[in-house]
Every structure is written in structure tokens, then in C-alpha cells.
């Protein structure tokens, strides 16, 4: 009996060892394409479209190239362009060298030459087609922040933090008083015009500090509201209600985007464009970013040229990584460990929890 029990224990231990060391089922599966842009059989694609695919898992950068990701139009000769993989290794883009032809069917192909990090190739070649429209998507003019651009966080009612937060840039709250800045353990300067904090590389300002701080903040808050109105008032969107409010996994080119609903991001999004391109997102309800999701930039795109105008509240999930200027009519909430490279400009409150917030 003792030998039997000993053998059983050994089997259990060995089985447990191999079970715990086995890679997750997802890592054993071949990579697949889970979403594309322009959409399958889509019509009216801008002539300056960037073609993108999102994979089910990370793929090896060396296997994503002009041979494994191609685009053809009316000619059998592939369209000239540049292929790039985002920093996460989950989304690839094809940027045509020139404009696409109007009213033309294009076919994109991703071959089995694409492999994951374990050298497992795609199970099958993925092919889809779309039809171009007759115009290009034009990058809108940037939104002027005025003096609100002097702050990385600006709110009207409160700014609070818990946990180990790190902020680079100035923080302002008005018309609320300094008592509505909580969690920063700030110390007033001898002039009483600002405060400092060990977790802020910058200054903290409130409406009840010594002049000229109150009037400076009043101007900044007015500029914030003007910027919100400007972003919300842009007309003739290039993209209307994209993805029915779910832009998860997409690669977005510069332009004006408008939704009559909220926007949900549950998987990584890439904004692809140059350092002079601008994105404006008009969101009629809430902006919700799921835990661990990243907004990444490619092609030289800059966070200061990305504007998220949100009529509802903005919520960045735990450990999410977000980029751009958030112009929110209500509150902005960064959950535990979320990272923002941009600005949080809220017409009510900004709530932090062990976050990193950096001005662009």
C-alpha cells in the first residue's frame, strides 16, 4: 500500500509539473487575423487609406513584410507601400506610397509566411477586398487648448489620487479650492501662489491661492471649455459611427471621427500617421478603455495631435496605456496602474490611482 501511495504521489507530482509548464492553449494555436481595416467588402474607403490587420496573438516582426502583406488593385502588380508592425506585435499596417485609385476594388493578402514568436505560421492565407471612394480623408486642424495647454491635469471640481502616482506637468483645479486636491501631500510655496508635491514634477494650483493664480485658472478653465466646444463642433466627419462604437483592434488614420454613442476599446488600437497629422474623436456618451488595453502610435504620430472629445465620462481600465488629449464634459477616471501620455482636462473631476501621467 505504501509503495502504491508513493507511486500515486509521484504520478501526481509529475503530472502537475508538466501541466504547470505547458504553454497556454492560445500560445499553441496558429496566429489568425481577427479584424481588418478597411472592412471586408467595405465601400467608400478614402484614397489615402492605411490598410491594417490585427492578429490573434503576437507575431514575429521579421515575418511581416512586403512579401507576406500585399495589396493589389486593377493591376496584378502589387501596390507599392511600406509594411510596419506595431510595438506590441499584434497589428500590421500597409501604407501605400501614393494615393489609391478612386472607385476601384483592392485586394489585400496576408500569407502563411507570417509566423508567431514560436515560428508557428498562420494556418491559412487571409484575403479580403474593399472598394475605394473618390476622396481622401483630410487631417483636420488641431484643437487650440489656449492656456489650458499649460496643465497636464485641469479640473473644475476636484483632482484626487491614491497609491503611488507620478505626474509630469502642472495640475490645476478651479473654481474648487486647494482642499479639493487630495492625495498629493502638497506643500504651499512661500508666495501662496502654488504648491509642490513629491509625486508631481510641476506645480499644483487652486482657485483659493494668492493672486494671480485665481484669475489665471479662470482663464485656463474657460480655454478648456472653448477647446471642448471647438472639438465637439467640427462638422463633416470623415468617419461616422465606425464599428458601431467599438473600435477595438483597429488602426485609425488621421481625420474627424464622430459617434452618436459611447466608444468602447477592448483590444489595442493603433493611430497611424505622421507628426503633423491630427485625429479628433467626437464621442456623444462615455469613452471606456478596458483593462490592459494600449493605444499605440505609428508613423511618427504625436499624442498632442490627438483629441478625444467626450460628452460622458472617460474611464481608463487598470494598466491601460492611453495617448492623447482628453477633453471631457464630466469626469476622467484612471484606474489602478493606467498610464496617460497626454492631458486630462475635465469639466468635473479627475481621479487617479497609482498612475503615470505625462504631458506630451
Residue 13 within a domain: no
Could you tell me which residues are beta bridge partners of residue 328?
310, 346
Does some domain include residue 153?
A: yes
- Looking at residue 26, what is its pLDDT? 64
Is 138 part of a structural domain of the chain? no
Q: Cβ neighbours of residue 168 under 8 Å, at least 6 residues apart?
A: 152, 200, 201, 202, 357, 358, 359
Domain membership of residue 136 (yes or no) is: no
Which residues in 347-359 are b (16+ Cβ under 10 Å) and which e? bbbbbbbbbbbbb
- Is residue 12 in a domain? no
Do 309 and 170 share a structural domain? Answer: yes
Question: pLDDT tens digits, residue range 342-359?
Answer: 999 999 999 999 999 999
According to DSSP H, which parts of 234-340 are helical?
Answer: none
Say yes or no: 182 and 309 in one domain. Answer: yes
**Last residue of one domain, picked from the residues 72, 104, 131:** 131
Does pLDDT of 12 surpass 90?
no
pLDDT score at 240: 87
Paired with 319 in beta bridges are: none
Shared domain for 306 and 181, answered yes or no, is yes
Q: Are 81 and 230 in the same domain?
A: no
Model confidence band, residue 210 (pLDDT cutoffs 50, 70, 90): very high
Confirm whether 18 is domain-assigned: no
Query: In the chain, how many domains are there?
Result: 2
Cβ atoms of 122 and 92 closer than 8 Å: no
CATH number for the domain that contains residue 123: 2.60.40.1220
Per the structure, the complete domain to which residue 195 belongs is given by 146-358
The Cα–Cα gap between 96 and 48 comes to: 8
- Quick: pLDDT tens for 240-259: 888 789 888 888 989 999 99
User: pLDDT for 23-70, tens place per residue?
Assistant: 453 678 999 999 888 989 999 999 988 898 889 999 999 999 999 999
What does pLDDT average to over the chain? 91
- Greater pLDDT, 130 or 13: 130
159 and 93 co-located in one domain: no
Among 108, 131, 154, the domain boundary falls at 131
In which element (H, E) is residue 324 found? strand 321-328
Structural domain includes residue 179 = yes
Residues 214 and 322 in one domain: yes
Could you tell me if 172 and 281 lie in one domain? yes
> Averaged over 177-184, what is the pLDDT?
98
What integer pLDDT is reported at residue 289 of this predicted model?
98
Compute the average pLDDT of residues 122-128. 97
For cell 494650483, name the residue. 205
Q: How far is the C-alpha of 296 from the C-alpha of 322, rounded, in Å?
A: 8
In a domain, 2, yes or no: no
* Angle made by CA atoms 199, 200, 203, in degrees to the nearest 5: 145
- Span 211-216, average pLDDT: 99
Cα 108 to Cα 128: distance, rounded to the nearest angstrom: 6
pLDDT at residue number 125: 98
Shared domain for 159 and 253, answered yes or no, is yes
Q: What is the DSSP string of 190-225?
A: TTSS-EEETTEEEEEEETTSSTTHHHHHHHHHHHHH
What average pLDDT score do residues 87-103 get? 89
Phi, psi of 81 (to 5 degrees): 180, 180
Q: What is the pLDDT of residue 16?
A: 35
Given a cut of 50, whether residue 22 has pLDDT beyond it is no
Domain final position from 81, 101, 131: 131
Same domain membership, residue 344 and residue 212:
yes
- Both 153 and 125 in one domain: the answer is no
**Looking at the predicted structure, is the pLDDT value of residue 15 above 80?**
no
Give the Cα separation of 217 and 150 in Å (integer): 10
224 shares a domain with 86: no
Residue 141 pLDDT more than 50? Answer: yes
Question: Residues 185, 216: one domain?
Answer: yes
Tens-digit pLDDT profile for residues 273-327: 889 999 999 999 999 999 999 999 988 999 999 999 999 999 999 999 999 999 9
Contacts of 132 by beta carbon, 8 Å cutoff, 6+ apart: 44, 45, 46, 47, 49, 100, 101, 102, 103, 104, 106
Amino acid at each position: 500500500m505504501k509503495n502504491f501511495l508513493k507511486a500515486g504521489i509521484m504520478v501526481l507530482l509529475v503530472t502537475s509539473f508538466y501541466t504547470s509548464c505547458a504553454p497556454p492553449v492560445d500560445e499553441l494555436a496558429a496566429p489568425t487575423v481577427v479584424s481588418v481595416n478597411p472592412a471586408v467588402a467595405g465601400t467608400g474607403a478614402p484614397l489615402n487609406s492605411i490598410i491594417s490587420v490585427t492578429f490573434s496573438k503576437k507575431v514575429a516582426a521579421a515575418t511581416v513584410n512586403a512579401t507576406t502583406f500585399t495589396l493589389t488593385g486593377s493591376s496584378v502588380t502589387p501596390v507599392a507601400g511600406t509594411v510596419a508592425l506595431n510595438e506590441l506585435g499584434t497589428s500590421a499596417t500597409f501604407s501605400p506610397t501614393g494615393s489609391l485609385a478612386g472607385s476601384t476594388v483592392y485586394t489585400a493578402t496576408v500569407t502563411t509566411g507570417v509566423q508567431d514568436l514560436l515560428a508557428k505560421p498562420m494556418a491559412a492565407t487571409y484575403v479580403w477586398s474593399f472598394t475605394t471612394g473618390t476622396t481622401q480623408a483630410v487631417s483636420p486642424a488641431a484643437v487650440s487648448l489656449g492656456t489650458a495647454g499649460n496643465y497636464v491635469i485641469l479640473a473644475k471640481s476636484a483632482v484626487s489620487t491614491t497609491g503611488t502616482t507620478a505626474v509630469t506637468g502642472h495640475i490645476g483645479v478651479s473654481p474648487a479650492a486647494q482642499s479639493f486636491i487630495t492625495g498629493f501631500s502638497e506643500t504651499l510655496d512661500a508666495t501662496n501662489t502654488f504648491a509642490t508635491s513629491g509625486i508631481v514634477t510641476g506645480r499644483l494650483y487652486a482657485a483659493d491661492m494668492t493672486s494671480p493664480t485665481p484669475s489665471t485658472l479662470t482663464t485656463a478653465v474657460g480655454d478648456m471649455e472653448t477647446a471642448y466646444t471647438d472639438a465637439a463642433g467640427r462638422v463633416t466627419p470623415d468617419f461616422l459611427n465606425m464599428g458601431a462604437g467599438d473600435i477595438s483592434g483597429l488602426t485609425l488614420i488621421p481625420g474627424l471621427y464622430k459617434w452618436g454613442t459611447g466608444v468602447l476599446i477592448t483590444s489595442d488600437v493603433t493611430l497611424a500617421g505622421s507628426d503633423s497629422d491630427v485625429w479628433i474623436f467626437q464621442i456623444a456618451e462615455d469613452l471606456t478603455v478596458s483593462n490592459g488595453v494600449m493605444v499605440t502610435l505609428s508613423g511618427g504620430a504625436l499624442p498632442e495631435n490627438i483629441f478625444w472629445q467626450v460628452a460622458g465620462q472617460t474611464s481608463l481600465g487598470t494598466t491601460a496605456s492611453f495617448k492623447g488629449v482628453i477633453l471631457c464634459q464630466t469626469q476622467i477616471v484612471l484606474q489602478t496602474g493606467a498610464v496617460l501620455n497626454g492631458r486630462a482636462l475635465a469639466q468635473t473631476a479627475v481621479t487617479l490611482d497609482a498612475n503615470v501621467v505625462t504631458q506630451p
